[in-house]
Amino acid sequence: MTTHTLELKNLTKKIKGKTIVDDLSFSVREGEIFGLLGPNGAGKTTTIRMIVGLISITDGDVLINGDNIRGNFEKAMERVGAIVENPQLYDYMTGYKNLMQYARIMPDVTKERIDEVIELVDLKYAIHDKVKTYSLGMRQRLGVAQALLHKPNVLILDEPTNGLDPQGIYDLRNYLRLLANNGTSVIVSSHMLAEMQMMCDRVAIIQNGKLVRIDEILNQEDEADVKVHFQIEGDVSQAKQLLIKMNEELNVTESGQELIVQTSDVRSIAELNKQLVLAGVLVVGIQRKTKTLEERFLEMTKKGGDLNEVAIPVNE
Amino acid sequence: MKWLSLLTNEWIKIFSRMRTWIFLAIPIVIIIGIAVYDKATTDVEVNENWKQELTQTVKDDQKALDEAKKNNDNEIYIDMLESNIKQNEYAIANDISPYETTAWQFMKDMAWISIFIGLFVIVVASDIVSNEFAKGTIKMLLIRPYSRWKILLSKFVATLGFAFLMWLVVILVTWLVGGLAYGFGGMDQSYLITAEDGQVKERLIVEYVFANIGVEFIELTALVAMSFMISTLFMSNSVAIGVALFTMFAGNTIVALLATKDWVIYTLFANMDLSVLIDGQNQMVKDLTLPFSISVLAVYTVIMLAITFTVFQKRDVKA
């Protein structure tokens, strides 16, 4: 049985009559990395703020490890670690003293655990320096450290790669994977598609506060989305007619020297190939293509018109 | 769960800042400075011949009084001269030297140093919540497994603790410096007041000093509650500090202007200076008594805290 560590039920936020988050429901499984993807202003941060109790919930519920944050906030937050937007730290204290602030008030954080986390985020060399001397990347790492101190089983990171260099992003990704493998549910938000694709197991696409869809990243053989490209040497239209004659329901389109057929059945691919070859058409290549997350995201969130016209900041 | 750890955290935050130590150092430096200056400049001869000196003062005051009466001068001025003359005559007759300084006399004379404490407490209290909003650190605090009121309470108690600690340190330093400079005796030393019926009376200095220590705790509590409320209402720390300081000064000025109105006794600021009510000397608003003022402060404190906690509990944190 799958255990859900975080459940959102019909979560809604209205501010001054404007609906920011609209009836949002999803569940995050134990040990998965779950992404919230959406353009800026889609309601990702508002959703995260509601989950961790920074802003009030207009309607709906948030359950963390089975505890409702509206009724039992203290219990629900015990095993949550989070960074909401940038990690803000006490500049006038050292990194270590900052960590001590949180170590003191969270359950069961030993001195060994603090040292372990410092080692993990690679801040040992500067941990006794004042935070005001830290670079953005160092602050980010200290932020990650404070979120991990009490070994949370729900880790929520809002735009976690902000300010990290490529090496830092790579390390973070690996570390989050390690945490997930040990049973931690990780929730990350971002508007950066490629990053989400690399990092997450599942991604919820959010637009205008609504859930558009949830995608599995590793297992994305969604039937409707698999297309087979037959690369043809010779007359493409003739080959197309041939296939349509064979099966009228088949969805075939021409594209240059390629015929694109929408199917996911492996047998029918072989059958189609056989028919083409028997009819004397030269098939020089067959390729199965699934839509990338990026294509889907843009498709889902586009405001009509050509893909290139979509006003979504993809890689800021 | 571990509410005391929240309090420890707030305490550490207060003392991790340089300004806290400066705030503690300033009154101490002033106290020592004044004692040293006084020691260096006091004319011992005057102290020994104080009766002669005082007789001369009475003569001068009498002259000034005749002059003032002839010119129909300000009534308060005339009252003051009359009271001075009576007190000095009483001092000569009963052998009570106003120039004899002891640790207790020094503490009474230095009571005004509490103005500094009030000032610094306003800064710390109005900063303690608003600064976390301004810097965004409040987010890291509110996502912990503690109800909001517990977090706010830890901040209030920490500020109050800081205010009380500062006052205790200043009292202790004043007593120590006063004792080293003038001797630790003088528990039975008296000072003179003019009662409402115009009679001159003797009172123990040590009684005044202890009463003053006590009422300052009450004043500080009300002051912390006020600044703390401003700190929670304004999410920028510089605005909060500015508003709190302005409120304090404007409040005192307005009370001075409206001192004759009946309802002024129900305002917060008319009741903020309890020390003048201890012996009723130099009292600006006439109808006030100590129990009345303490009750008014208590009511204001409760109301201000209620507003603070309600607003904080409901606020959407977007910092």
DSSP A234-287: S-HHHHHHHHHHH-TT--EEEETTEEEEE---HHHHHHHHHHHHHTT-EEEEEE
CA nearest neighbour of B151 among A309, A74, A297, A192: A74
In this predicted structure, which of A7-16, B231-240, B275-284 has the lowest mean pLDDT? Answer: B275-284
Check CB contact under 8 Å for A88 and B137.
yes
C-beta separation of B124 from B162 below 8 A: yes
C-beta separation of A295 from A310 below 8 A: no
Region of residue A17 (phi > 0: left; psi between -120 and 50: alpha; otherwise: beta):
left
How many CB atoms within 10 Å of residue A284? 10
How many CB atoms within 10 Å of residue B301? 20
C-beta separation of A296 from A215 below 8 A: yes
Q: Which residues of A touch B18 (CB under 8 A)?
A: 92
Optimal mutation site among A50, A90, A130, interface B, most CBs of chain B within 10 A: A90
In this predicted structure, which of A38-52, A62-76, A251-265, B286-300 has the lowest mean pLDDT? Answer: A251-265
Residues in contact with A70: Cβ distance below 8 Å, sequence separation at least 6, in sequence order: A57, A61, A62
How far apart CA A133 and CA B57 sit, in angstroms, is 63
Look-up of token digits 């498709």:
A299
Reading the block at residue B278, the tokens are 């201890």
Per-domain residue ranges of chain B = 3-41+101-314, 43-98
Check CB contact under 8 Å for A105 and B5.
yes
Q: Is A93 on the interface with B (CB under 8 A)?
A: yes
Query: Helix B18-41 vs helix B114-128: angle between axes, to the nearest 10 degrees?
Result: 170
Assign a CATH topology to domain A4-216. Answer: Rossmann fold (3.40.50)
C-beta separation of B188 from B96 below 8 A: no
Q: How would you class B294 by CB atoms within 10 Å of its CB: exposed for 0-12, middle for 13-18, buried for 19 or more? A: middle
Q: How confident is the model at residue A185 (pLDDT cuts 50, 70, 90)?
A: very high
Q: Which residues of B touch A106 (CB under 8 A)?
A: 144-145
C-beta separation of B268 from B277 below 8 A: no
The CATH number of the domain covering residues in A223-290: 3.30.70.980
C-beta separation of A218 from A201 below 8 A: yes
Nearest C-alpha in B relative to A91: B135
C-beta separation of B274 from B110 below 8 A: no
Q: What is the mean pLDDT of residues B38-48?
A: 75
Torsion of CA B51, B55, B58, B63, to 10 degrees: -160
Nearest C-alpha in A relative to B4: A105
Smallest Cα distance from A119 to chain B, Å: 21
Q: How confident is the model at residue B300 (pLDDT cuts 50, 70, 90)?
A: very high
Nearest C-alpha in A relative to B317: A54
Parallel, antiparallel or unpaired: strands A59-64 and A67-68: antiparallel
| Max Cα-Cα span within chain B | 75
How far apart CA B279 and CA B295 sit, in angstroms, is 18
Q: How would you class A4 by CB atoms within 10 Å of its CB: exposed for 0-12, middle for 13-18, buried for 19 or more? A: middle
Q: What is the mean pLDDT of residues A73-80?
A: 92
Q: What is the mean pLDDT of residues B13-23?
A: 94
How far apart CA B297 and CA B140 sit, in angstroms, is 34
Element (H, E) at A186: strand A185-190
C-beta separation of B297 from B270 below 8 A: no
Q: Identify the pLDDT of residue B239.
A: 86
How far apart CA B291 and CA B65 sit, in angstroms, is 36
**CA–CA distances in Å: residue A138 to residues A133, A142, B135:** 9, 6, 17
C-beta separation of B129 from B155 below 8 A: yes
Instruction: Count A/B contacts: CB-CB distance under 8 Å.
Output: 80
Q: Identify the pLDDT of residue A34.
A: 94
How far apart CA B168 and CA B272 sit, in angstroms, is 19
Q: Identify the pLDDT of residue A77.
A: 93
ipTM of the complex: 0.81
Per-domain residue ranges of chain A = 4-216, 223-290
Q: Identify the pLDDT of residue B87.
A: 82
Region of residue B183 (phi > 0: left; psi between -120 and 50: alpha; otherwise: beta):
left
CA nearest neighbour of A197 among A54, A24, A315, A60: A315
Q: Is A148 on the interface with B (CB under 8 A)?
A: no
C-beta separation of A283 from A229 below 8 A: no
Q: Identify the pLDDT of residue A315.
A: 37
How far apart CA A183 and CA A153 sit, in angstroms, is 7
Out of A56, A75, A77, closest to residue B143 by CB: A77
Q: What is the mean pLDDT of residues A173-186?
A: 90
C-beta separation of B221 from B160 below 8 A: yes
State what percent of residues in chain A have pLDDT above 70: 88
Q: Dihedral sign for Cα A127, A129, A130, A133, please.
A: negative
Q: How confident is the model at residue A94 (pLDDT cuts 50, 70, 90)?
A: very high
Per the prediction, chain A carries an average pLDDT of 83
- Which amino acid makes up residue B35? A
Q: Which residues of B touch A55 (CB under 8 A)?
A: 316-318
Check CB contact under 8 Å for B144 and A49.
no
DSSP 8-class letter at A88: P
| Size of chain B, expressed as the number of residues it contains | 319
Give the range with max mean pLDDT: B80-84, B121-125, B196-200, B284-288: B121-125
pLDDT in tens, A119-170: 988 899 999 999 999 988 889 889 989 999 999 999 999 888 777 778 888 8
Out of B12, B136, B140, closest to residue A146 by CB: B140
Check CB contact under 8 Å for A88 and B316.
no
| Size of chain A, expressed as the number of residues it contains | 316
pLDDT in tens, A10-64: 999 998 889 999 999 999 999 999 999 988 888 899 999 999 999 999 999 999 9
More confident: B210 or B252: B210
Q: How confident is the model at residue A224 (pLDDT cuts 50, 70, 90)?
A: low
Give the range with max mean pLDDT: A295-304, B57-66, B115-124, B299-308: B299-308
Q: How confident is the model at residue B224 (pLDDT cuts 50, 70, 90)?
A: very high
